Chain A
């Protein structure tokens, strides 16, 4: 299956591909799409263009988007209810943008509707990499930090924990990310328990493919 992965770096993309393969149960072929580093607004702005390009110009069957939540609100079940999207939640914003973009493309002969899956790494993908290694790194904990509590970790310390230093080379981040994703792929339930809304959303979308 050919899929497109939208991510902020090639390191993230390599890890996401391993997780996607584990969830869908087969190896995917990736069309890589990137945004400029730290480019949340770019992802949101580009999503309609990406959908148009993939729909009309490729045979890609699925689109996966994974973004960091950074300091934005963490997605929660409440947002899933009709008309209850949080305008500051990145997952909600991506869903609205994606729905709107997909509604605008015209059906093509021999072209099935593109499958989509959206994930939110809270606060960054390195938090997923710590799953199984550090029980304090969870979505719930991060929500407490957003509410003003002092946590034992932040985005930078997550990177240092994952890669040994910050900054680190893209090659090193890719290798670490791949190793972490291979480990996580053996226990997706635990990753979903620790990150029920950000990773859980991705998992549930992909399980419907």
Chain B
């Protein structure tokens, strides 16, 4: 599990450390580095594809490296990626640092990724798009849920074939979330594509994915992720409450918890480290009992930075009496826009 990510000169994150746990909910104003923090996962894999001028913090007093460093909770080891200033890249190329976590096999002369690196390589940042979720997919394509939700029909169909018990549990949960529907079904088109449908509980009418509301599509995608047999080791959700009715937010939280704490849901797979961002005081209300799972993103003249809610001074007193969403909205905790 990732214990923290440290950012140096990475866009709005000039010098910031994001503390993480099995589940982390980040709240803060627009431009406070929430989405930038999610980019760290792709940066650490492929820093060289980034354009230095576009990724470096604007207005630095002198040329500086861009660096992102991940720390493993178990071993304490770090994995980092550095993008040097273009002048230094040309004149003084620095060899990549050997990562102590990588395992080298001299006979095959290959490097194997450490478990931590493997986990880092298996990440997804989900920012769902209703049209992409509903889009038909090729019958023979690999069952994989893309970060925008494309491929959901294939993933669901694969789940129904490979994991009948998990599939039925998903349908049961679907009915609990959206009582008007009781089952996911599929339709195949002559052009070798398939899409999913939702069957109504009464009358068993079938609604094509393209006819479902945006919120319903988001809910089905989030629910599916929670029931995947082999989800990515690290999952980030950008605004998982987007388009979702406030009454369904508890179910959305539970879906994310199902990924992060599978044993609590009688699951037998490895926990997924979940990071989510939100602007919703309603979603935040649900985390009042767990301030250690909430990180406040602040933005000031020195850039954006992060603070775990449970580590704020006098937090016990600050959280008394009122809903957490109200307390955050008021500005008492920070993490709100400085202007209207």
Contact = CB atoms under 8 A, between A and B. Distances in A.
Contacts of A39: 326
Interface string B292-327: 000000000000000000000110011111110011
For chain B, give the interface size range: 20 to 34
Contacts of B326: 35-36, 39, 42, 45-46
Interface stretch (B186-194, B258-266, B329-337): B329-337
A49 B321 contact: yes
B181 to A, nearest CB: 32
A64 to B, nearest CB: 14
Main secondary structure of the interface of A (DSSP, over half): helix
A170 B340 CA distance: 9
B314 A57 contact: yes
A58 to B, nearest CB: 10
Contacts, number: 58
A66 B122 CA distance: 52
Contact of B332 (A10, A50, A170): A50
Given A10-B340, A33-B330, A34-B329, A45 B317 contact: no
A33 B333 CA distance: 10
Contacts of B329: 34-36
Given A49-B327, A53-B318, A174-B340, 10 more contacts: A10-B340, A34-B329, A34-B331, A35-B326, A36-B326, A46-B327, A48-B320, A49-B320, A50-B330, A57-B313
27 contacts: A6-B330, A31-B331, A32-B331, A33-B331, A33-B332, A34-B329, A34-B336, A35-B326, A35-B329, A36-B326, A36-B329, A42-B322, A42-B326, A45-B322, A45-B326, A46-B330, A48-B320, A49-B318, A49-B322, A49-B332, A50-B330, A52-B318, A53-B314, A53-B333, A56-B313, A56-B314, A57-B313
